[in-house]
Amino acid sequence: MGLAHVVSGSGALYEGQNHAGKASLFTKGSDAMLTLPGGTQKQCKVEEIG
């Protein structure tokens, strides 16, 4: 599934859809939220290493 950039009020939003359902990725700063088909959500955060 490919994700296309869509208009967002703030941050960056990407959405896509296939036979399994809709998915999206929202990023803002060092935070991200991935929503998979079926509604499962994963939160991510960039952390410095070292």
Quick: pLDDT tens for 11-32. 999 999 999 999 999 999 999 9
Cα 3 from Cα 23, distance rounded (Å): 8
In a domain, 20, yes or no: yes
Determine contact, residues 5/11, Cβ cutoff 8 Å: no
Domain of residue 34: give its range.
4-45
In a domain, 50, yes or no: no
In a domain, 22, yes or no: yes
| Dihedral over alpha carbons 34, 35, 37, 39 (to 10 degrees) | 150
The pTM of the full predicted model, rounded to 2 decimals, is: 0.82
In a domain, 32, yes or no: yes
* For residue 41, pLDDT beyond 90: yes
Total count of domains within the chain: 1
In a domain, 12, yes or no: yes
pLDDT, residue 43, reads: 97
In a domain, 41, yes or no: yes
